[in-house]
């Protein structure tokens, strides 16, 4: 009855235009906020439930660089066979990486590779979307195909430092 008096009393009918819209605005604001909050909450739950562990995704992507003949993998010209895990030093450059990993924006993982070996000079290259952001680094032992010399085909062992960021 108190409310009725406040909102609908004959004497105070002017409140109908004054308080009701304020009430609706407050409720609308609250409901919108509640809707957005719960939507975001539910969506992030769904997303996290389906999330692929980051290391799985990066491992798959790193495998592309090491195994694919379009990336760093050494290919025997005569047989056309690609040797996964053997890095062709002639392919270890930004141009090659751009061809095999055409990621230009920050939505994709970006990588930087540094090749270290006692037998060759330090070399590095990175994907086109590499930027000045926080990154993680791992290392991996690799074989490096250096090319044909008078002694035959030369392969050195080395370490590949892989930095990744998203």
Partner 1 sequence: MNKRGVSRSLFLIGEIVGAALIAVLLISNAMQWTSTERPYKEYLAKDIALSIDSIFASPGNIIVNYTGNLTDYSVNLTGNSVSIYKDDSEQSNKIIRNFVPSENIEISDATLEKPKNICLAKAGDEIFISDSAHANLNILSCDKLDEKEEKLKNKKILIDPGYGEDYIGESKKICNIGNSLISNIIIEGFDPLNILSTIKFDEGETRSLYCDHISKSDAPIDANAIISLRTGKYDNEKNSIKAFIISGSEKEKESKILACIIINSILSNKRLNDVNIDGVSIIPVNLETTNENFPKYIFLKEGEKAEDFEAANFNKIFVLLEIGNAESEQGKLLLEKVPELGNSIAKGLIDYGK
| Residues forming the site for partner 1 (CB under 8 A) | 8, 13, 16, 31, 35, 38-39, 42-43, 46-47, 49-50, 52, 56-57, 60-61, 63-64, 66-70, 73, 78, 80-84, 98-103, 107-108
Shortest separation between residue 134's beta carbon and partner 1, angstroms: 20
Shortest separation between residue 62's beta carbon and partner 1, angstroms: 8
CB nearer to partner 1: give 104 or 119: 104
DSSP codes joined into one string, 124-162: EEE-TT--SS--EEEEEEEEEEEEEETTEEEEEEEEEEE
CB nearer to partner 1: give 111 or 146: 111
Q: Which residues contact 99 (CB under 8 A, 6 or more apart)?
A: 70
Rounded-to-integer distance, Cα 70 and Cα 74, Å:
9
Shortest separation between residue 121's beta carbon and partner 1, angstroms: 27
Shortest separation between residue 101's beta carbon and partner 1, angstroms: 6
CA angle 141, 142, 144 (to 5 degrees): 145
- Could you tell me the two tokens for 94? 């930004």
């Amino acid at each position: 009855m108190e409310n009725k008096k406040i909102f609908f009393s004959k004497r105070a009918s002017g409140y109908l235009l004054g308080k009701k819209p304020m009430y609706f605005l407050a409720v609308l604001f609250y409901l919108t906020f509640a809707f957005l909050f719960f939507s975001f909450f539910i969506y992030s739950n769904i997303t996290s439930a389906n999330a692929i562990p980051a290391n799985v995704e990066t491992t798959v992507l790193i495998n592309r660089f090491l195994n694919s003949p379009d990336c760093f993998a050494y290919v025997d010209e005569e047989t056309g066979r690609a040797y996964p895990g053997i890095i062709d030093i002639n392919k270890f450059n930004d141009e090659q990486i751009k061809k095999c990993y055409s990621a230009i924006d920050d939505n994709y993982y970006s990588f930087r590779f540094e090749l270290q070996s006692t037998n060759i000079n330090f070399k590095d290259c990175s994907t086109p979307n590499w930027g000045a952001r926080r990154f993680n680094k791992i290392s991996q032992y690799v074989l490096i195909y250096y090319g044909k010399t008078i002694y035959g085909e030369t392969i050195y062992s080395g370490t590949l430092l892989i930095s990744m960021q998203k």
